Structure 1
Amino acid sequence: MDITDEQAKAMTSAGLNLIAQALTIYDEQLKLVVCNAPFQHMFSLPDRLVTPGATFQETIHHLATRGEYGPVDDIDSFVTERINQALAFAPHYMERTRANGHTISVEGSPLPQGGWVTVYTDITATKAQEKLLHARSDALSDQVLAHAEQLSATNRERAAMITTLEETKRQLTESEARTRLTTEMLPAHIAHVNAAGRYTFSNQRLPHIMPGRPTTIVGLYIADALGAFAYDRIKPALDRAYGGAPAVTEFTDDTTARRIRAAFTPDGQNGVYILSTDITEETQTRVALQQTRKRELAAQVISGLAHDFSNLLTIILGMQSRLARQSDLAPEAQKLIEGTLAAARRGGALLSSIANLTGPRTLRPEATDPAQLLADLTTLAKPTLPAGITLSTDNQMPDAPVLLDKGRLTDCLLNLILNARDACGAAGRIHIALRHVHDTWIEWSVTDDGPGFSASALEQGIDPFFTTKGSEGSGLGLSMVYDLTKSAGGDLRLRNSAEGGATVVLRLPYRMALPDTAGLVLLVEDDGDIRANVRDMLMALGHSVIEATSADEASALLADLPDIALVLSDIQLVGEGTGLDLADRISGQTPLVLMTSLPTDHALYLAAQQVAPVLRKPFDTTDLTALIAPHKVAAQ
């Protein structure tokens, strides 16, 4: 059974009333917060002075007027002096004899949050024992008597000090617990290693940043906790920190394929503080942005050249066509004209390829069955292969749809297969493997048993116009594949296999597809006309719809309605929050689709692609259905 605040207060009050000593707590404004019944009984105070909010000044004035402190010439001055002493908030211990003949000890201690607590103890019996000791002083030496009195007073002071220390210890323990809880909630691993390289502190977040590592690492050597590969990557930066210089490094963890950033700060005592964060999504966004900027620069340079080159080709084609229509040309001249026309047309095709490579492109991810994509790819590729080349596949992906730009990915994989075919010649083997890498990547690898990549191909293979096929190659195939992977925040690697042959590894960010079931959809759009249009599309797909115009309004609805199955939000909304802010608040708890009319090179658009599927405006029911209800598209 949960205890209410009122019940807790009642239980606390009952407990305080059972204490033999009188107790009071005043806040920093000298107003009573709480006191127990012995306090009222000890000083015979009226109810108004033991009610929370009663002032310290009123209580002292009442006691002084009543003679609690003996004869007082100027009560107002006496009260002012006691108030000034109280405002100093200094720990103190004192003993005094009251007007009624009883002796009390008074021990006070300030509180960390302001105000102070005071405990009053009746020590009349203790004092009586001391008087008895004086009465028998003829049997004791003066030195023993003085020592006994000093020991008695010291014991009381020590008891007061112990009480203060225990309270301080409690406060420190609570503070440490709050600090540890805070560090354990951070999305980062915070740790400290001593001069010997052993952990002395950890917020236990290491396995959240680098899965597979132990949770409890205090006392472990850093190389044992991280593993040899990761330790080798961070060791140069760690050594610089041991040398007294802060250092930051980034590396890709070999076992999880996550990108990790580690910052090292010297502690001034031959130890090092370590802050490690997972920057995989940040890196994917950064890579996509870099590729977009490269495309922009290439487009700016090439567009001018392509314009002039296209004009020249147009003139060449026109002049050669006129020559071809002349009837008195020799057969050899006719062949030269045909060769010139073929070269000019090939130049035009090359210009189109360059335009496709450098021009603006929009990724259009849709729910895709990896197994079906692999089967379709095999169907398309096999007719292009000679009889002596076999094509095999290995699918290790979970049986669940993922978000991919199926058309562009198929083009890229076909390009890799055709490159492998050309490398194998008339006979050989091509193998396509598909696997899921630690909830981070979808990895495609295309391997052949040809001669493998040359040293120059490994170094320059993805550069535009680099080819090993002579006049038969355009040098744009791998560049196109590289452009797709980088635009999506992925990675492309070329390597030679240990058994011989070449391998191209293509990695794309892993994004789970949206559940293909009708449910309650939260539509977040600040334009009323667009909102009505999209609402009709969703309802036509069988969904129920609720609407919001801002990130704050959407957050409130998500908190109140746990049955929301999907959030469809514009990136730019009214108010300060954006669709990206809404994505942060959702934190993957509810499926999310973002929509926008921003250009594909806009920073918000690039960032959005890394956190959720993005629908480009304008879109129609077919586009929306392809993303959130792919089986309905197939049925049509």
Structure 2
Amino acid sequence: MADETPAGVQLRLLQAALDHINQGFTVFDGDLRLVASNRWLFELLELPERLSRPGTPFAEFMRFNAERGEYGDGDIETMVAERVRRAGAFRPHYLERRRPSGEVVAIKGEPLPGGGFVTTYTDITDQRQREEALERAVSDRTAKLRESEQRLRLITDAIPALIARFDAEPCYTFANRRYAAWFGLTAESIIGRAVPEVIGDRLYGELEPHLRRALAGHEVTYEYRRTGPDGRLAEMRSTLLPDMDEHGEVHGCFVLSLDITEQKLREAELQQAQKMEAVGQLTGGVAHDFNNLLTIVLGNLNALRRLAADRPELAEFVDPAIDAANRGSSLVNRLLAFARGSTGEPRPVDVAATVVDLSRLLRRSMPSSVEVVTQLTDVPRPARADRSQLENALLNLALNARDAMGGRGRILFTIAETPVDSVRATVLGVAPGDYVRIDVKDTGPGMTEEVRRRAFEPFFTTKEFGAGNGLGLSTVYGFARRSAGTVTIASPPGEGACVTLYLPCTEPQAEPAGDEDDSGERNQVTGTGELVLLVEDDTGVRAVVRRQLNDLGYLVLEAEDAGEALDMIRSIGEIRYLISDIVMPGQMNGIALAREAKTLTPAIRVGLISGYAEGRETQELASCPFPVLAKPFATEALAGLMGRSV
């Protein structure tokens, strides 16, 4: 029968309240007997109702759990005794236990004053499942993030650029493999290191203003030079991009650096080519008129020398003037060879034999204080080039080396055959293939970088005024390029200069029998009153050439242009020779005039003279069937032209 006393009513109300709590609840006294519990405990732990009676020993609860396997395998009484012993210590405790059915129960015990303890049992299965799900999600997210980072690392490492990030300190927080290797580090070891520590105080001092500006929120692009771990001096272009949040606060900078060494080389080569082209055009523009002037000067001086043959006292005035005019003619011809891009007569040349012969000549002509050495690492195949132009190029290099050494030191010629692959060919600006390489090295003081860059420019010289005209190396450059090769200079200051010629290899072939005499002087012809039509638009030149032809025994008719000349050919049948300038005013040049003249009068013999041909005339000269004599020329050379006329 229910206790209706106030105390009984209060106990029922308290029990009802405890039964509504969603936690299990037990109270044991100092003798480890049950004082109170609630319904939720028995539902949570699936305990029998009989254990809920007050006074039930704590050991009965433990025995029931042990018998149904809550504590795993083992002797039941031993497991019960151990748990009773721990409970009797009345110490605060907390543990979580996963029941065989899968629920996770959190058990928290607290001792009571005077003995005994109160224990709460909480079902935390859902909480643990959520936590485990969260842990799995975090683990999956971490794995995906790590995979993404690895993929990003692979991408940035594969990009042919230097990529990094540094914070506001500035210290590195990221660097791809190329960036780290550029400073001799690994991508892992660079992280966390200060920028000055990595790039060095000198470079940091140079770049610090750019870093400060970038950390102030500005995108910055700059260029710098640095010697890399491989010892190569590289040109670099870097862009700094500020890393800003949505509020505009800068937290660091991203770095993108590109090696632009090859680009700079290409730009320099393009500028060099443009300079060469400009000089060639300038030279071609003045050469025709200048050669006409020299023709007049030399023609009159030679005439004066013949007229004054019985007055030797005049020779000391005339001969130096003729010598100076001839030197001027030689200078113009060298310029014209550069401007025209004339290849001469390229044929297979035994480079090794040519260098050996030249070295022998140089040893006899150089001062005894200059040692000339030839070194053959192998016997290369012939190179396709004009032998005389090759000899002239090597002679120029030897003389430059002598002057650079101050007349004391060693000039070393090294000859070898070397393959040039596509990468190296791109750098050199030639076609891939096999080349004969000729190194001309001296023991002089070397060149500064500025001098090395400008060395091939026409008229550029470091010699004192009057000691050189600055055409030596430009002539070598022109010869190499016209021969489908190239020339380079390596010259560390204080270590001398090494000029390297690359000429394409070719297969040997039999030389034509007999010596060829391009000057035509072996075929000189003098006239016996034959009629010559001289076509020249410059009055002074026409007067000189007319006198030379008269001296050779010819009668001369004159015309200023092609139209006038054709009229004469049609009306005067006695004309036996046509001597015409190539470049003339009007629509018809000398080559076209010669062809028309041969059509009108097939028996007429034709010879051409030229101060300089450009544009259309240059192309026509390549297939011109008529002999050409370059201005200025002596009477003997003109006689040779008459003998070669066709």
TM-score, structure 1 length as denominator?
0.44
Bigger Rg, which one: 2
TM-score, structure 2 length as denominator?
0.44
